[in-house]
Structure 1
Amino acid sequence: MTPSTTAGAAGLIREALEVYGDDPQAAAVLRGYARRLAEPLRIAVAGMVKAGKSTLLNAIIGEEIAPTDTGECTRIVTWYRHGHTPRITLHPITGEPRNLPLKRVDGRLVFVLDGVQAEDVDRLDVEWPAPALQAMTLIDTPGIASLSQDVSARSVRFLTPEDSASEADAVIYLMRHLHASDLRFLESFQDTGAGRSGTVNALAVLSRADEVGAGRIDSLLSAGTIAERYSRDPNLRKLALGVVPVAGLLAQSARTLRQPDFEALQLLATLDRAARERMMLSADRFRRSREPEGLTEEARRSLLARYGLFGIRLAVVLIRNGYPEPTPLAHELARRSGLDPLLEVLDRQFQARAEALKARTALVAVGNLLDSRPRDGSEQLAASLERLQANAHEFRELRLLAALRTTGVELAPELAAEAERIIGGHGTAPDLRLGLAADSSPDLLAAEARRCLARWRRAAESPLTPRSALEVCRVVIRSCEGVLADFAVRDRRAQSA
């Protein structure tokens, strides 16, 4: 996101405040969106009941602070923000906010609603000194398609309000299988206004991926094959950037691995393979086994609750094959759980576009205000909005990416695929745009950018290129020029250093 576009979004909010300054409600909304421009990106975690939303959220944060049971708190929209001091604030639907006591049980944060019913709570705000929350605010939402229509409606209202932009800038949507209800939600989250598309701010996660292979050690490979097939599904492709398989329970426990867990896993690793396989035929058999000596029933129950059979099997194999210390083991378990690939996708798709996504949300808010509360003197504001949407290259990239994944363009398939990559469909880093290795030298990257620029200029000038594809060529050309301009700026800084 260029500084001029970021400043343009902030300027548009200021202009809107001048027009609607005498409307207290509209002014309060606009000031809220102005603050959002300076805040971390807001990412909601959504999905059906028992999809593993809170578990995955804990894994991303690296601490067990989101409740994962089926209690009252899982029916409430809960925000997780960075704060230097831990704090939980309850915001009731009516009345003043109040702080809740901080309580931990067995290492987990427990929310004590102090007699307040979930249906009377607007949201919970959790401030926590977790490094992961410095770059993003995570929002845990109640299950969609819940047996309780009120619980399900609460998530839908929050994520897809009828008369305003969503409170979330992006969404991670968890699914265990691809159901029609998953597609319906993503379709409702997809923005359809100018410069907007749910395609570029939604990511699907095949959750509880270890269950795909019934807990076998190769379960993630099977889940990866299914996720790849889903990502090519034409109905899902137009609604989400991709599908990532994650074993959420293992990811959470790997990020919060405890010394007693490690010692119990070490004991299991002393057994020979045949004995281990016999005892792990089922969870019940694992609990009742008396091997190895010294592993208590309580320790077995804890391992099953925290890792599942898949995680236990994998951890034991890793210990026996070169991971005899807790920290390296935890890192490898997190990687194999699918969490690391998910974090990489979040970084290159959401965080790299954070300013553009936040600015787009601000523009949506102004557009909704103009539509819902038209008034004399707002013509100039409407013109400013249209000009910013049309001229900001980041928004042109987002619109083209949406078109490539939905309606398509009149280009050969290989050119369309290259266009999607160059405008940031796989990530906005130069190597990802150019299809080169991450460790490619600046000279190689610049040379490839020049080749791409020349190729797309020829395409734009060719009489064989359909007129409908000329705008595609112009956007891709501008993206290539942007990559080269970034390299030129870096060179100048290096020379002046």
Structure 2
Amino acid sequence: MMETGTAGAAELLRLAREVFHDDAAALAVVDELENRLEGPLRIAVAGMVKAGKSTLLNAIIGEEIAPTDAGECTRVVTWYRYGHTPKITLYPFRGAPQTLPVTREDGRLVFSLGDVPAEDVERLVVDWPSASLRNLTLIDTPGIASLSQDVSGRSTAFLLPEDAPTAADAVIYLMRHLHASDVRFLESFKDTAAGQSGTVNALAVLSRADEIGAGRIDSLISAAVIADRYSRDQNLKPLALGVVPVAGLLAQSSRTMRQADFDAMKLLARMDKNQRERMMLSADRFIRLEGPPGLDQAMKASLVHRFGLFGIRLGVALIRGGTMDPTELAHELARRSGLGQLLDTIGHLFQTRAEALKARAAVVGLESLLRGSPKDRKAPLEAGLERLQTGAHEFRELKLLAALRTDGVGLDAELEAEAERLVGGRGSMPALRLGLDPGTDPEHISEVARAGLNRWRLIAENPLTEPRALDACRVVLRSCEGMLASMPAVH
């Protein structure tokens, strides 16, 4: 039976513990790599300044715990992970960790670094009892290309370390439009140690998607067209697994909707349509003009701050269309914000192959440790590392995915697109690999997988298939065999 990346990485770390039994610094690295292998997948949220990182992070978690203002804490790398009780820990570059007070104002978590300057903080770790964090640790990073070189440098040092594996297994990269600076960052991320190992593990998000259509109700449709165009862009395609449009502010607020928000939108829905539209020509006008009765300026300002004009318009339209339950409205707003598609995409592309990504990170970390080690200590581990990297099928899939998205493997475009899908380019579940609906009957999935296996066997046996394409065929065949082995027997 072929060794899996996870089992192989765990065994190599066990061996490393024996080899470095008398080296405290090396054992600390092994401890960290073991924790990483056993813990949840780590996803960093990155992007330029004001791309909406903290807002989107709150939407994914389902609570407003990441600060979205321009305070000191947005200059610090902050980890959000699952914990039974709320806790905030500050890790300085020098000295012992400190526990910070957990305080909330108006439902939001408030961070205070006390007397520690932001530049002295290596990271903040927030433990939070959110179901969304059980299988996922999210890492909020300061804005890249910040006016402050120190702030921008923090993100660069964390996401693009020069001589160590990056601490994130994957990256959600937010952009408002596709700029050269976005492409440059993603190229740099792909060139880190993890990237050089043949892994494309970034997902691009077209954040603030509602701004593309100037806040109109159909803004997300316009944004989806642009996101699709970006996903086929020859500069971006080799660097990101896809582009998803999300109205971040609406995504966050729909997940934290209050009864008062619903009641306010209901009052707006009862207004004369022409009067309401005139009032909503701008945010300033909406807040300033009087009406409807029962809705004061403070509440209107709160609605704009939380939902934006796009969210307010959409909420009012849904209420007028018959959505009269606050929970139902919140779910529908979340769906229409693009959050559902983003969560599905994170699930398909990252969480279904979490074990492979974590094992890949452990291997890269071990390689980094061995680079500075004496020869006699390297020898027992290097052979095992090489064996694992060539033998673990998950790693071969990740490597082929990267090759297919960059230089290709010598097959025609249609076959390369099919190969990319079969090795998990659109998600790791068998149905997604085969281009079928996730709810497809297992029997039909088995039939399609068998047909794919036979078709790729013929391609592999064709004497005209060139050598590098033949290697790709072998990986695809193994993926088809794996799908068939995972399905119930067809009688």
Q: Under TM normalisation by the shorter chain, which class is it? A: over 0.9
Q: Supply the distance in 2 between the matched residues of 1:465 and 1:4 (Cα, whole angstroms).
A: 28
Equivalent residues in 2 for 1:295-310 (5 A)? 295-310=295-310
| Partner secondary structure for residue 241 of structure 1 | coil
Deviations 1:88-112 (A, max 9, x none): 1111121211111111111110012
Residue by residue over 1:428-482, the C-alpha shift from the partner in whole angstroms, topping out at 9 and shown as x without a partner, is: 1111111112221111111111100000000011122122210011111100000
Q: What is the CA–CA distance in structure 1 between the aligned matches of 2:270 and 2:51, rounded to whole Å?
A: 34
Distance 2:18 2:275 in 1: 74
The gaps in structure 1 that reach 5 residues or longer are: none
Other structure's SS at 2:99 match: strand
In structure 2, the partner of 1:261 is: 261
Question: 1:357, 1:191 → 2: CA distance?
Answer: 16
Report if aligned partners of 1:195, 1:395 keep a CA contact under 8 Å in 2: no
2: distance between equivalents of 1:146 and 1:6?
38
Gapped runs of 5+ residues in structure 2?
Answer: none
The alpha carbon displacement at 1:19 in A equals 2.2
The answer to whether the 8 Å contact 1:196/1:398 transfers is no
Contact 1:434 / 1:448 at 8 angstroms: preserved in 2?
Answer: yes
State the 1:291 CA deviation.
1.9
RMSD: 1.5
Aligned counterparts of 2:160 and 2:331: Cα–Cα separation in 1: 36
1:432 and 2:441 are equivalent in the alignment:
no
Query: TM-score, normalised on structure 2?
Result: 0.97
Question: What letter is aligned with 1:427?
Answer: G
Q: Quick one: distance in 1 between partners of 2:150 and 2:96?
A: 23
The two structures have a TM-score, normalised by structure 1, of 0.96
| Range that drifts further, 175-184 or 336-345 | 175-184
Note if contact 1:172-1:203 (Cα within 8 Å) is conserved in structure 2: yes
The one-letter code of the counterpart of 1:412 is D
Alignment-derived partner of residue 233 in structure 1: 233
Name 1:326's counterpart in structure 2. 326
Is 194-203 or 477-486 further displaced after alignment?
194-203
**Amino acid in the other structure paired with 2:35:** R
Matches within 5 A, 1:286-435: 286-435=286-435
Percent identity at matched positions?
66
Q: For residue 191 of structure 1, report the CA deviation from its aligned partner.
A: 4.5
Identify the residue that residue 143 of structure 1 maps to in structure 2: 143
Q: What residue number does 2:176 align with?
A: 176
* Deviation (angstroms), 1:491: 4.1
Paired residue secondary structure (1:472): helix
- Is residue 3–residue 391 contact of structure 2 (8 Å, CA) maintained in 1? no
Which residue identity does 1:156 align to in structure 2? T
Secondary structure, in 3 states, of the residue corresponding to 2:235?
Answer: helix
Q: The residue matched to 1:63 in structure 2 has which SS?
A: coil
Equivalent position amino acid for 1:188 in 2: S
Query: In 2, Cα distance between the equivalents of 1:209 and 1:194?
Result: 30
Where 1:204 maps in the other structure, the secondary structure is strand
Measured in 2, the distance between the counterparts of 1:192 and 1:40 equals 21
8 Å contact from structure 2 (residues 89, 97) kept in 1: yes
Distance 1:193 1:114 in 2: 36
Match of 1:133 in 2: 133
CA contact (8 A) 2:198 2:403 kept: no
Pair 1:6–1:196, CA change in 2 (3 A): farther
Give 1:271's aligned residue: 271
Tell me the CA shift for residue 166 of structure 1.
0.6
Displacement of 1:234 in angstroms is: 1.1
Distance (whole Å) between structure 2 residues aligned to residue 441 and residue 402 of structure 1: 30
C-alpha contact (below 8 Å) 2:198/2:399 kept by paired residues? no
The residue number in structure 1 matching 2:217 is 217
Q: Tell me, in whole angstroms, the C-alpha distance in 2 between the residues paired with 1:52 and 1:198.
A: 29
Residues in 1 aligned to 2:128 and 2:73: alpha-carbon distance in whole angstroms: 17
What amino acid is the match of 1:243? V
In 2: Cα distance, 1:185 partner to 1:29 partner: 27
Counterpart Cα distance in 2 of 1:182 and 1:468: 31
Tell me which moved more, 370-379 or 147-156.
Answer: 370-379
For residue 16 of structure 2, what is the aligned residue in structure 1?
Answer: 16
2:461 counterpart letter in structure 1: E
Distance 1:126 1:3, change over 3 A: farther
CA distance in 2, matches of 1:138, 1:18: 32
Determine if contact 2:165/2:193 at 8 Å carries over to the other structure: no
Equivalent residue for 2:68? 68
**SS of structure 2 residue aligned to 1:225:** helix
Which position in structure 2 is the counterpart of 1:205? 205
In 2, distance between residues paired with 1:104 and 1:130? 16
1:290: Cα distance to partner?
1.2
CA contact (8 A) 1:195 1:360 kept: no
Instruction: Provide closer, same or farther for how the CA distance between residues 477 and 412 of structure 1 changes in structure 2, counting only shifts above 3 A.
Output: same
Structure 1 residue aligned with 2:83? 83
Shift of 1:120: 1.2
Question: Cα deviation per residue 1:260-286 (whole Å; 9 max; x = unaligned)?
Answer: 111101100001321211110011110
Amino acid at match of 1:202: A
Task: Using the TM superposition, give the Cα deviation of residue 380 of structure 1 relative to its aligned residue in structure 2, in angstroms.
Answer: 2.5
Deviation of 1:192 after TM superposition, in Å, equals 6.2
Number of residue-to-residue matches in the alignment: 490
Q: Is the 8 A contact 2:160 2:192 kept in 1?
A: no
Do the aligned partners of residues 88 and 192 (structure 1) sit closer, same or farther apart at CA in structure 2, a change above 3 Å counting?
Answer: closer
* 2:124 maps to amino acid: L
1:388 and 1:287 map into 2 onto residues whose CA distance is 61
